[in-house]
C-alpha cells in the first residue's frame, strides 16, 4: 500500500526542495494535512505571491520588490565599495552584522566547471559594467571558502586588477568561539597563512 495519489504528489514536491529527504518530505506533507484549510491556502498563496511579485534589482541582482533595490537607491550607503556575494542569503548574513555600509553585487552563483557553470552564467559581466560606470574604489569578495568560491574569487580578482581599484577578500580563519583543537587542517593552514602582526 502506498499513500493516496494527491498525498504522494505533495510528498514528491517537498522532496524536490534542497536538504529535504524522503522521510522529512513525508512528515511535512502529513503536517499539511493536519493544518487548517485556510492556513494551507495562505501558505500556497504565499508561495505564488513570492514567486510572482519578487524581482531582482537590475543593478546589483539582489532580491527586491523595487528596482533598483533599497540598498542601491539608499542615499546613506557608501557608493564607493561593492561587496560581491554569491547569493542573496549571503548578503542578508552580512547585512545582519550591521558593520558594512557599502553596496553589493549578487553573482547569483559561482563558477563551477563541473556543473557547467562558467563566468557567462553568473553576473560577472554586470559587475564589470558597474566598475566601469560607477565610481568604485574597492571590491570586497565575500564568497564561500569552497573550491567554486575560490575559483570565482581568483577569476574576478584577475579581471578587476586592470581597473586599478583595491580588490580584497574576507579573511578565512578560525571562527570565534571555536577551539583550535577541533578546527580542521585546511582552516588552520589558512589561519596561519593569514596571520596578522600585533
Residue with cell 561593492: 82
Among positions 68, 87, 165, 190, the unique one binding a copy of itself when judged by CB under 8 A: 87
- Smallest distance, Å, CB 61 to a copy of itself? 12
Instruction: Collapse the DSSP code of 175 into the 3-class scheme (helix H, G, I; strand E, B; otherwise coil) and give the result.
Output: coil
Among 60, 83, 88, 111, binds a copy of itself (CB under 8 A): 88
164 φ, ψ to 5°? 70, 25
Q: Bridge-partner residues for 106, per DSSP?
A: 85
Give the one residue of 58, 59, 61, 65 binding a copy of itself; rule: CB under 8 A.
65
Query: Rounded to a whole number, what is the largest CA-CA distance in the chain?
Result: 68
Site for a copy of itself in 92-121 (CB under 8 A): 92, 95
Q: Does residue 22 touch a copy of itself according to CB under 8 A?
A: no
Strands (E), 95-177: 103-106, 138-141, 166-169
10 Å CB burial of residue 33 (0-12, 13-18, 19+) is: exposed
CB of 194 to a copy of itself, least distance (A): 27
Q: C-beta of 126: minimal distance to a copy of itself in Å?
A: 18
Rounded Cα–Cα distance for residues 21 and 137 (Å):
45
1 binds a copy of itself (CB under 8 A): yes
- Kindly state the number of chain residues that form the binding site for a copy of itself, as judged by CB under 8 A: 50
Judged by the rule CB under 8 A, the positions of this chain that interact with a copy of itself are 1-7, 9-10, 13, 17-20, 24, 26-33, 35, 37, 40-54, 63-65, 70-71, 87-89, 92, 95
Amino acid at each position: 500500500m502506498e499513500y493516496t495519489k494527491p498525498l504522494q504528489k505533495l510528498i514528491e514536491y517537498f522532496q524536490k526542495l534542497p536538504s529535504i529527504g524522503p522521510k522529512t518530505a513525508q512528515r511535512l506533507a502529513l503536517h499539511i494535512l493536519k493544518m487548517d484549510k485556510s492556513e494551507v491556502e495562505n501558505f500556497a498563496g504565499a508561495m505564488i505571491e513570492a514567486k510572482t511579485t519578487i524581482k531582482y534589482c537590475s543593478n546589483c541582482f539582489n532580491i527586491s520588490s523595487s528596482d533598483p533595490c533599497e540598498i542601491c537607491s539608499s542615499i546613506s550607503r557608501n557608493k564607493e565599495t561593492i561587496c560581491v556575494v554569491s547569493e542573496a542569503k549571503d548578503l542578508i548574513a552580512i547585512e545582519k552584522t550591521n558593520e558594512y555600509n557599502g553596496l553589493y553585487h549578487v553573482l547569483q552563483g559561482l563558477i563551477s566547471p563541473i556543473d557547467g557553470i562558467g563566468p557567462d552564467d553568473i553576473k560577472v559581466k554586470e559587475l564589470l559594467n558597474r566598475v566601469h560606470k560607477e565610481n568604485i574604489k574597492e571590491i570586497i569578495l565575500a564568497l564561500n571558502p569552497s573550491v567554486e568560491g575560490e575559483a570565482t574569487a581568483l577569476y574576478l580578482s584577475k579581471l578587476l586588477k586592470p581597473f586599478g581599484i583595491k580588490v580584497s577578500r574576507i579573511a578565512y580563519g578560525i571562527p570565534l568561539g571555536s577551539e583550535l583543537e577541533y578546527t580542521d587542517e585546511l582552516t588552520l593552514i589558512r589561519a596561519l597563512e593569514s596571520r596578522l602582526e600585533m
